[in-house]
């Protein structure tokens, strides 16, 4: 999996909001996802395409609407593989920071 695409996809606030909406109710159509947003349908459509390329969203056409579903796998992999790495040793880093910032006089 390309972590880079996932990170890039998550970098945009509008796209994170779309994920939020799908998290609140999975399986929405493009039109529904546009409601109340200060963007054209085409802009939302592009964001969804980017989320799909990152594999964060999967869609399926049903009649004349296209339904969108969250794929939780990439978010989970970021949590496990990437964030997890930094969490190990987190307390050490924090103590380190405090030491460097607060007690700089006695080194």
Partner DNA sequence: TTGACAGGCAACTAAAAGGTTGCATAATTA
Partner DNA sequence: TAATTATGCAACCTTTTAGTTGCCTGTCAA
What residues line the site for DNA (CB under 7 A)? 8, 11-12, 14, 29-31, 38-43, 45-47, 50, 61, 63-66
Among 86, 103, 105, 106, binds its own copies (CB under 8 A): 86
Among 1, 7, 42, 65, binds its own copies (CB under 8 A): 7
* 23 touches its own copies by CB under 8 A: yes
Rounded CA separation 47/55 (Å): 12
Closer Cβ to DNA, 24 or 91, answer by number = 24
Among 33, 55, 67, 103, binds its own copies (CB under 8 A): 67
Structure tokens at 17: 């909001």
Cβ density class 56-69: b for 16+ within 10 Å, e for less:
bbebeeeeeebbbe
Closer Cβ to its own copies, 11 or 43, answer by number = 11
Radius of gyration of the chain (CA): 19
Q: Is 55 helix (H, G, I), strand (E, B) or coil?
A: coil
* 43 touches its own copies by CB under 8 A: no
* 85 touches its own copies by CB under 8 A: yes
Rounded CA separation 77/94 (Å): 24
């Amino acid at each position: 999996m390309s972590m880079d695409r996932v990170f890039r996809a998550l970098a945009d606030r509008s796209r994170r909001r779309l994920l939020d909406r799908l998290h609140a109710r999975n399986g929405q159509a493009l039109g529904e996802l546009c409601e109340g947003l200060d963007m054209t349908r085409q802009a939302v459509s592009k964001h969804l395409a980017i989320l799909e390329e990152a594999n964060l969203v999967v869609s399926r056409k049903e009649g004349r609407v296209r339904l969108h579903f969250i794929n939780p796998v990439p978010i989970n992999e970021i949590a496990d593989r990437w964030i997890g790495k930094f969490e190990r040793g987190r307390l050490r880093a924090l103590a380190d920071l405090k030491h460097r910032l607060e007690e700089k006089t006695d080194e």
